Chains A and B, each alone.
Chain A
Amino acid sequence: MKQERKFQSINHTVMKKDAMALLTGKPVYTQDLAPKDCLVVKALRSPYANAIITDIDVSAAQQVAGIECVLTYRDVPQTRFTTAGQTFPELSPYDRLILDAHLRYVGDPVALVAGVDEKAVHKALQMIHVTYEILDAVLDFHQAKDNPILVHPEQDWNPLVDVGGDNKRNIVAQACQDWGDVDAVFADCDVTVDSVYHTRQVQQSMMETFRAYSYMDEFGRLVIVSSTQVPFHIRRIAATALEIPKSQVRVIKPRIGGGFGAKQTAVMEMYPAIVTKLTGKPAMMIYTREEAMTVSSPRHEAEIHVRIGASRDGLIRVMDLDALWNAGAYGDHSPTTVTLAGHKSLPLYGRYEAFRFSYEAVYTNTIAAGAYRGYGATQGIFALESAVNELAVKLHMDPSALREKNMVREGQVMPAYFNETAASCSLDMCLKKVKDMIGWDKKYPRTVLPNGNIRGVGLAMGMQGSSISHVDVATVNIKVNDDGFYTLAVGATDMGTGCDTILAQIAAECLNCSVDDIVTRGVDTDTSPYDTGSYASSTTYLTGMAVVKTSLALIGRIKASAAQMMQCANGDNLEFTGKEVVDHVSGKRITLKDLANKAMCNHGIALEAAEEQPSPGSPPPFMVGAAEVEIDPETGHVELIDYATVVDCGTVINPALARVQTEGGIAQGIGMTLLEDVRFTPEGRIENNSFMQYKIPSRRDVGTIRVEFAPSYEPTGPFGAKSIGEIVVNTPAPAITDAIYNAIGCRFRDLPVTVEKVYEALKGQS
């Protein structure tokens, strides 16, 4: 169904609908909208990685002037829940309480204080007296499984779905999948690679930290306004955690200052919510940057063991990937992210005869990891692509040639990807193009500069999915208003990506109108149609298809209305041009404007349509990234000279936005590879708790990033589109580390690659 027509809105750069408001500083974020009399809510947090509160005395704190309430574990409901924003029933265990007597990591909240201003609350926080029974902690995820120290020994640990977890063994999830005869094929291979890769936790570091405010509305319902990616999940989580009916909760999402997955978890919404529920008063909590670095929802630390077997001439015949996942103190997104380590890396290759993917996600007394762009694929792809690059060395083959020989091709069934077919795949074009862009043939592997510095190039392939097959749903509602402008109601959350605009572009294309004729509105759980939320790269692909489906349904109703108004037999034979409805038989016509206005008087067909779109498949976007680095061998300093990438996200709906997504994801990948690393003291406290100590890339740290597209056409996507939101962070780590290897012959399997690590490796060489 490839369309050759020229698009009027699709594949055009359209300025985001909110661009002007954001760039001129309008007050459109959570904190800007909050009532002025909101109680300020702050938490007292555990200084210990594993402890029980044996006594807590809040009487002095309650006496501080301006304090409304001080809450402890005694004051909260006892139903365990998960903060992970996932479709119900969640794969994440219900292992949390709003406040617990058992504290499971440094920063776990001990008490909540709500007062009239920050000064009063700070004063009260210091006057809470706590006696802790300090327990030994399990901080090393290698030692977590079957450790006598249990992170979750409680009786009411509640996994809704069996994902292989066992709280008595500190296991959150585990599984093993074999396809083909792995051992036999390995035995028959000429060359094998067997390596272990280790990635650390990294923080999303969106510019707007976690924040929410809550109040009771005129119907006695709890309203939560939150900077969240998952308003509908927040509604359900709040109802569960607060033990109130879901009908009594409303969640509203304003403009969000970034999320990248961090806000796919209900990190802190329950805290102002419980204060409002118990006091009846509006309450707001704004996380400091320190809290956003220490009690947040970072990417999972992972150790991935990869084995690859190949024939002498470079055919990859078998792959074995085993992942150890550090869940941290709560299960959250562990059972789900860990599955992507294999399922969204192995399918990059299409010629193997067997594969094994096994994993274990374990509890430790450290920060609970969550969802971060890539969602496990990032760690898996770092490991797998690095292993393939190591294989290229063993085979004395150019790493690009090895990939040309083995990559998945369009039309192939992907056994490691739930047996879905790669119906749209231009990975081969991506590789070819990126080699041109970086100058691969001239620059591979290395160049020594006159000043002694050494440059090297490296590349890696990447993939992701587009929504979660057989799980995600998106519902959309479009209606026609006076004069014929449209309102597009979505449940998908724009966190800065511009999906509100992109979805309007898709609707405009279907309805044959200008993007400016479409008002996009979301998200309010009372009035917006249901959407699982903005994660799993689902907005363009899935919500986009819901827009297409709904637009077609709406056109049917427009025609039916026109038929009635023009007294034609039925609407089926009429044509809707976007501006008018025409009956070519009788010559009658009515403009959309007139139709819309007439429909508001003595008319019986609602000019409104709502459709829900499920996800029968999750077509992977693909990309190839190539890095050029320059190493100063005397200091170990790695400078990023150039990063080139070619993306196959299917049809590109908005080229400017797709380009910026890619550049932003690559910058985050650069940070993960060279700069960012959550560091712990021996007692389990996070040391780098600020932008002073945890350095995200500045504009002088990213070199030059260049992006091109090689669009395939995805038949199940809106106008052939797939996703782009997450894949973009997956190539830098393996591409940059291989560029470093090609430059200086040092292989880094442990991120981040710091100057000192490079220096030590070089010293070790000589």
Chain B
Amino acid sequence: MNIREYIKVQSLAEAYELNQKKSSVVLGGCCWLRLSPNRLIGTAIDLSGLGLDQIEDTDSGIRLGCMTTLRQMETSPALADLTQGALQSALRHIVGVQFRNLATVGGSICGRFGFSDIWTLFLVLDADVELYHAGLMKLREFADLGTTRDILTHVILPKQNRKIGYESLRLSETDFPVISCAAAISANGVDCAIGARPQLAELVPGGQHMLQPGLTEQTIAEYARHVADSLHFGTNLRGSAAYRKDMAAVLCRRVLTKLAKGESR
């Protein structure tokens, strides 16, 4: 890797200005950087002096600074409570504790990795992201934004009265998921996201009210079929599109069945 200059910025304004150059990179946990030994970086921007590694628990939601590590999130009682344990399910397979002590929520979101367990879960949590220049927006809007030279400063998880569940399927315990599924249910309907398709996680379009009659074996099975039918899947080293499609339905069914029984994990 070649970095021409490294700057630990004193303010977000400084970071934003430096980041407008195409050769600039905002540093997250740097784990992904390790994988790019030949990458040429003009300015490496370090936000770690700006106190953005805090988890703020408020009445309306939990506000995560972009430099909050996955390990901080994993061990936060407030997040365990808000996500009903789903966050821990999502994170515990990710490489190891050392990795999660480095990887940041900002880096995970901005990286837009197809395998990202966080994207899958945060979509159904109706997460907001705060950008320095563009301000507040929904995570799903941020997904449509594409690559941006803006700086993501916070992720906000609203406190809503919903039941949350998460499941993933992996070839081995610390591998990327073959497919992942998160669901959130309230009186108003269901939100479901499928990740590692292998593409980036997506919210399932439509079907929000299919579970209105109640969480029964039949409604769950129908909804799971809808999930499998309404998204695109692909083939890679870890699995075929057909397998992912079938497994999306299986995982969805399992998450919803657990929520119906009142189990959180």
Contacts and interface: CB of A to CB of B under 8 A. Distances in A.
A142 interface: no
A586 interface: no
Nearest to A118: B37
B169 A755 contact: yes
Nearest to B169: A635
Given A634-B250, A700-B174, A756 B240 contact: yes
Interface in A746-765: 754-756, 759-760
Contact of A695 (B172, B240, B250): B172
A759 B243 contact: yes
B237 A635 contact: no
B237 A695 contact: no
Given A635-B247, A679-B237, A688-B237, A755 B173 contact: no
Given A679-B237, A755-B178, A759-B246, A698 B169 contact: no
A759 B247 CA distance: 10
B171 interface: yes
Interface in A117-174: 122
Contacts of A679: 237
Nearest to A694: B237
Given A634-B250, A635-B169, A759-B246, A698 B237 contact: no
Contacts of B35: 692
A698 B172 contact: yes
B208 to A, nearest CB: 25
Contacts of A637: 169
Contacts of B239: 755-756
Contacts of A634: 250
Contacts of A688: 237
Contacts of B178: 755
Interface in A669-720: 675, 679, 687-688, 692-693, 695, 697-698, 700-701
B56 interface: no
B175 interface: yes
A553 B246 CA distance: 71
Interface string A725-766: 000000000000000000000000000001110011000000
Contact of B250 (A122, A635, A700, A760): A635
A695 B247 contact: no
Given A756-B239, A756-B240, A701 B172 contact: yes
Interface residues of A, number: 20
A637 B250 CA distance: 12
Nearest to B176: A692
B117 to A, nearest CB: 16
Interface string B167-186: 00101111100100000000
A693 B115 CA distance: 13
Contacts of B171: 675, 695, 754-755
B128 to A, nearest CB: 31
B177 to A, nearest CB: 12
B246 A698 contact: no
Given A634-B250, A635-B247, A756-B243, A697 B172 contact: yes
Interface in B26-47: 35, 38
A700 B97 CA distance: 14
Interface in B191-232: none
Contacts of A675: 171-172
A758 to B, nearest CB: 11
Interface residues of B, number: 16
B256 to A, nearest CB: 14
A695 B175 contact: yes
A495 to B, nearest CB: 26
A703 to B, nearest CB: 11
Contact of B173 (A122, A635, A700, A759): A700
A698 B175 CA distance: 10
A340 B243 CA distance: 38
A701 B246 CA distance: 24
A679 B178 CA distance: 17
B64 to A, nearest CB: 26
A693 B239 CA distance: 13
Contacts of A635: 169, 247, 250
A637 B167 CA distance: 14
Contacts of B246: 759
Contacts of A122: 38
A756 B178 CA distance: 10
A635 B172 CA distance: 14
A319 B104 CA distance: 59
Considering residues A679, A688, A692, A756, which has the most beta carbons from chain B within 10 angstroms of its beta carbon? A756
A698 B174 contact: yes
A353 to B, nearest CB: 44
A755 B177 CA distance: 12
Interface in B118-135: none
A756 to B, nearest CB: 5
Contacts of B247: 635
A759 B246 CA distance: 10
Contacts of A759: 243, 246
A700 B94 CA distance: 13
A756 B169 CA distance: 11
Interface in B218-265: 237, 239-240, 243, 246-247, 250
B21 to A, nearest CB: 23
A679 B237 CA distance: 8
Contacts of A701: 172-173
Nearest to A687: B237
Nearest to A754: B171
A696 to B, nearest CB: 9
A675 B173 CA distance: 11
A760 B174 CA distance: 24
A675 B38 CA distance: 30
A698 B171 CA distance: 12
A27 B172 CA distance: 33
Nearest to A693: B237
Contacts of B38: 122
B171 to A, nearest CB: 6
A754 B238 CA distance: 9
Considering residues B35, B169, B172, which has the most beta carbons from chain A within 10 angstroms of its beta carbon? B172
Contacts of B240: 756
Nearest to B38: A122
A668 to B, nearest CB: 14
19 contacts: A634-B250, A635-B169, A635-B247, A637-B169, A679-B237, A687-B237, A692-B35, A693-B237, A695-B171, A695-B174, A695-B175, A698-B172, A698-B174, A701-B172, A701-B173, A755-B171, A755-B178, A759-B243, A759-B246
Interface of A: 122, 634-635, 637, 675, 679, 687-688, 692-693, 695, 697-698, 700-701, 754-756, 759-760
Given A122-B38, A634-B250, A698-B173, 17 more contacts: A675-B171, A675-B172, A679-B237, A693-B237, A695-B172, A695-B175, A698-B172, A698-B174, A700-B173, A701-B172, A754-B171, A755-B169, A755-B239, A756-B239, A756-B240, A759-B243, A759-B246
- The 5 A-B residue pairs with the shortest CB-CB distance in the complex, in nearest-first order: A700-B173, A695-B172, A756-B243, A698-B174, A634-B250
